[in-house]
Structure 1
Amino acid sequence: MKFNNKTKISYTLLRIANELLEIEKKTRNYGTDQQLFEAEIHMIKAIKENEGIHVTGLADILGVTKGAVSQIIMRLEKKGMIIKEKDIKNQSRLVLKLTPKGEIANINHERFHLEFDDFVNEILGDATEDKIIFLKNFLTSIESNIVDFEGEKDR
């Protein structure tokens, strides 16, 4: 079967998506003594960006249930990444803050993203601005329309 270039692009995109998914699924220690899952490091990031936030606020920001936030918070607390403190404005509510270990994980997570940015920039190399704009628009279009694609059901 002979593939045209557009078909080759779609197959390449699927392979890239699978590889990126595998990278995202891996646990990392982010410079600490604890392995962190993707949801945990993103919770750490959200707490850092919203220092002193509470469970309900985190659930709203992340678009997940309070129960899901509570489960991750318990794991992060056991791993020594965050602490809960009484809210000085509302003593019946607890606020969340990063521990020094959580700060280290957050810094190294940011570094991970910067390294990926550098990786992409290196591949783009000396691409013209027109080519970069085309690629950005192409990827943005895929991103905004992918929710409508599910493929054939019940093959």
Structure 2
Amino acid sequence: MVEQRKEMLKFLFRLSRKFFETMKQPKKFGTDSLLYSSEIHTLDMIGKHPGITVTELADRQGIFKSALPKVIHKLIQKDLVYRYQETGNKKNILLELTDKGRIAVQQHFEFHETFDNGIMKKINSLTPEEYLFLSDILQELDQYIDHMEQQE
């Protein structure tokens, strides 16, 4: 039984690495450019909030403002975003998606619909007892990892 539990732990680590690697891989999302996770999620946020400023974008993504100029510059070069100055306030730079950017955001949404639906099919097939059991384990693992991070 001890060996089976060790194998389950190995499987859990393998699964988490696989998931991370899948999400980390750049994809074209219906465009001619490879887009990294940080780029497509920045596009997604700009799409949800047209005319957003860099400061607002950083706040909404929970990242430092200094992390965005490089990503935004790449998105402009790839013709996915355009920036413009607010009328009457030359300090504020606003961001919006281009048509190509909107295609990428739509394709990203469709990617998640397909990917997430595959996982949801399995989750939906669980009995209420199985679901609660799995949910409890995942929550406990999440709390354990949070606790371990705080110990560092």
CA RMSD of aligned residues (A): 2.1
In the superposition, relative to structure 1, how do residues 146 and 2 fare at CA in structure 2: closer, same or farther (>3 Å)? closer
* Matched-pair identity in %: 30
Higher strand share: 2
d(CA) in 1 for partners of 2:62 and 2:30? 28
d(CA) in 1 for partners of 2:140 and 2:80? 37
Higher helix share: 2
d(CA) in 2 for partners of 1:22 and 1:79? 24
Q: Which stretches of structure 1, 4 residues or more, deviate above 4 A after TM superposition?
A: none
TM-score, L = length of structure 1: 0.86
Q: Mind listing any 5+ residue stretches in structure 2 that lack a counterpart? A: none
Partner of 2:109: 110
Partner of 2:3: 3
What is the Cα deviation at residue 89 of structure 1? 6.1
TM-score, L = length of structure 2: 0.87
What is the Cα deviation at residue 50 of structure 1? 1.8
Which runs of structure 2 are paired with 1:31-110 in the superposition (5 Å)? 31-88=30-87, 90-110=89-109
Q: Mind listing any 5+ residue stretches in structure 1 that lack a counterpart? A: none
In the superposition, relative to structure 1, how do residues 77 and 38 fare at CA in structure 2: closer, same or farther (>3 Å)? same
* SS, match of residue 29 in structure 2: coil
What is the Cα deviation at residue 125 of structure 1? 5.4
Count of residue correspondences: 150
d(CA) in 1 for partners of 2:89 and 2:141? 44
In the superposition, relative to structure 1, how do residues 63 and 105 fare at CA in structure 2: closer, same or farther (>3 Å)? same
Query: Which piece of structure 1 moves more, 83-92 or 112-121?
Result: 83-92
